[in-house]
Amino acid sequence: MNRVNPLHIILLLIVVLFFAFFKLAGIKSELKELQQEYKKSQKVAEELVSYKKLYGNRKRVQKALQKIVSQRSLQSANIKLLQRPNSLEIKSASMKLNELNSLISKILNGSYEIKRLKIKSLDATHASIAVEIAW
């Protein structure tokens, strides 16, 4: 009886086949999870790229702020623009409250990364402002 029973071989092959199917099902579910994670990370990467285009464009920020500061309603405010390597600072020692309101509304309605905003009331009709906008 040195011969191997063919039923044992068939039974062994069936067990190996079931084991392979279960492993394959587990690998398929892992693959689906990885694909979902990949889609999520791809969405995050696209958002980061769009934010970088929106907030990181130095020339766009400078041009937009220069346009805001040069408006006729803000001419008497004596606003100064100070350029730094990674930011632009807008300062005014004294400006009327309606000019301040106009400037702040234009800055806050735009898409800028504001690092610092300091407003100090000088009297009932005037205030000083310092805003630092980064890119």
Per-residue pLDDT tens over the stretch 86-95:
899 999 999 9
Give the angle subtended at the CA of 87 by the CAs of 109 and 97, to the nearest 5°: 45
The neighbouring-strand residues paired with 127 are 95, 121
- Burial class for 89, CB neighbours closer than 10 Å (0-12, 13-18, 19+): middle
Output the pTM of the full model.
0.62
Count, residues in the chain: 135
The neighbouring-strand residues paired with 116 are 132
pLDDT for the residue 62: 87
Residue ranges in the chain modelled with pLDDT below 70: 1
User: Which residue, among 63, 89, 90, 87, has the nearest Cα to 79 in the 3D structure?
Assistant: 90
pLDDT tens sequence across 44-66: 999 998 888 877 778 888 888 88
Which residue's structure tokens are 């309101």? 101
Q: Measured in whole angstroms, how far is the alpha carbon of residue 56 from the centre of its chain? A: 10
Alpha-carbon dihedral angle through residues 64, 67, 73, 76, given to the nearest 10 degrees? 110
d(CA 58, CA 72) in angstroms, rounded, equals 24
